[in-house]
Amino acid sequence: MADVAIVGTGHSKFGARTDVNLQELAWETVRQALEEANLEQQDIDMFVVGNAGGWSSEPLSAIVIGEYCNLAPKGTMRVEAACATGSAALRIAYQAIKSGEAKIAMVIGAEQMHQSPHPLAIEMMRRAGNYFWEFENFGLTFPGYYALYATRYMAKYGMKEEDLGQIAVKNHYYGSFNPYATFQKPIKIEEYLKSKIIASPLKVYDACPITDGAAAVILASEEVAKRITDTPVWIVSQGFASGTANLSKRDDFVSIDAARVAAEEAYKRAKINREESWKYIDVAEVHDCFTIAEIMAYEDLGFANRGEGYILAREGQTYIGGRIPVNADGGLKAKGHPIGATGVSMAVSLTRQLQQRAPKGTQATINNGYALAHNMGGTGHYAYVTIYSLKKPSA
């Protein structure tokens, strides 16, 4: 089984990208990745497009993007796993190289949510839960789903709204340094506390924005990677899991079980002890679609004990220089969350972190050479945890 490395990365500006169409947006990242890897389109054996679909006008996004980016007639597909779409697309390309079916594969994540009117975009996200039970009967929105998590967590563990606010403050702080981020202005805790409630206890500053954006990575086998670059970033392991469609069938509302299962699988394959994972991982990207999601991720990943994730936020332990830097690119909260691109964007950020070329003000200290991406879909319906390293997995 071949080892697989990232050898090229590309990233667009996130935000309201109505200045381009979907294929032009994707090309911004494809061009970057090809130039970085010193490759041409004909060198790519296959390409996979992560696009959740429904927001933009192109239903056959992989074909349209492939044609525009001159990647045809290489084989392709569109992959969808809700908000974890980008990581699912990465998995397809990763497995193709690992099995020997391809030597070089490109992963493109792209989404243009602003092509849909705002009310329609909100409805599309609402439908990502259990349609007939939660959407039709109770009218749950996505802020409503995560408000349930936050309310239960506060009641059980004593977390305060100020603790949620610390996540927003941190991620906006790092977003202010990231030229690709949607929001590039820091906020103060006072601004957070005064912001409008959207689903109590969650406020405007607790939620990620509707976003357009794209990201791309080029994966290669060991043989090719060593020929292309002196600093390959290896995919050490990837764990993935699923949860129930209906939230009422879950055991508790202070954790996302699928994330815990995916993390355990990834750690096992990487030979990392979950309880000491924060000692190995130099920097992490976690799925902070809402601030409470980041706090639960700390615990599901083993960065903190159950019920103590908010303490990491309160003490500033997830800033650079703390116990474990998390979302040093601004995360979904400030960088943005273009559904199909998010998982690929995480891969780009972490690759550049490990290669120590993150934007000024966002570079973590790389000691052990490990980075982790935690990418969720829906309200815990899909979970992908990917571990990257400067060290070759089989070394």
* pLDDT in the model for residue 335: 98
* CA 255 – CA 293 distance, rounded (Å): 9
Q: Are residues 250 and 111 in the same domain?
A: no
- pLDDT tens digits for 305-337? 999 999 999 999 999 999 999 999 999 999 999
DSSP H or E stretch at residue 238? strand 233-242
Give the angle 72-78-79 at the CA atoms, nearest 5°: 145
pLDDT digits (tens, 9 = 90+) for 109-154: 999 998 877 777 777 766 666 666 666 556 677 888 899 999 999 9
Q: What is the pLDDT of residue 58?
A: 83
> Among the three residues 228, 259, 286, which one is the final residue of a domain in this structure?
228
- Rounded Cα–Cα distance for residues 24 and 60 (Å): 15
Same domain as 322, residue 215: no
Block residue for tokens 């972490």: 350
Q: State residue 57's pLDDT score.
A: 78
Specify whether 69 is catalytic.
Answer: no
103 & 242 share domain: no
Provide the pLDDT for residue 196: 97
Q: How confident is the model at residue 39 (pLDDT cuts 50, 70, 90)?
A: very high
Q: Pick from 195, 228, 261: which residue ends a domain?
A: 228
- The per-residue pLDDT of the chain, averaged, comes to 94
Q: Which of 83, 114, 289, 381 is the catalytic position?
A: 83
Output the pLDDT for position 372. Answer: 98
Same domain, 248 and 216: no
pTM to 2 decimals? 0.96
**57 in a domain, yes or no?**
yes
Q: Does residue 62 lie in a domain region?
A: yes
Whether the predicted pLDDT of 248 surpasses 90: no
Residue 129 in any domain: the answer is no
**Given a cut of 60, is residue 73 above it in pLDDT?**
yes
Same domain for 224 and 286: no
**What's the pLDDT at 137?**
55
Using 50, 70 and 90 to split pLDDT, how confident is the model at 103? very high
263 and 365 together in one domain: yes
pLDDT digit string, tens, across residues 173-206: 999 999 999 999 999 999 999 999 999 999 999 9
107 vs 379, residue with greater confidence: 107
Q: Is 208 a catalytic residue?
A: no
Q: Within this chain, do residues 217 and 283 fall inside the same structural domain, yes or no? A: no
Q: Which domain holds residue 314?
A: 233-389
Q: Which entry of 11, 337, 374, 381 is annotated as an active-site residue?
A: 337
Do both 224 and 349 map to the same domain? no
Tally of domains within the chain: 2
Q: How far apart are CA 170 and CA 321, in angstroms?
A: 13
Highest average pLDDT, of 52-61, 78-87, 114-123, comes from 78-87
Q: Are 296 and 313 in contact (CB under 8 A)?
A: no
Residue of 11, 24, 43 lying closest to 352 (CA atoms): 11
Q: Is the pLDDT of residue 167 over 60?
A: yes
CATH number of the domain encompassing residue 51: 3.40.47.10
Query: Is 122 domain-assigned?
Result: no
| Cα 258 to chain centroid, rounded | 15
In this structure, the answer to whether residues 217 and 251 fall within a common structural domain is no
Q: Which two tokens stand for residue 280?
A: 């190995």
pLDDT of residue 135: 61
First to last CA, the chain: 13
Q: pLDDT band at residue 1, thresholds of 50, 70 and 90?
A: confident
Residues 214 and 297 grouped into a single domain: no
Residue 201: CB partners within 8 Å, gap ≥ 6?
Answer: 147, 150, 151, 154, 161, 164
Q: Give the pLDDT of residue 301.
A: 98
Round to whole Å and give the CA distance between 274 and 215: 29
Q: What is the pLDDT of residue 215?
A: 98
Q: Which residue has the higher pLDDT, 80 or 56?
A: 80
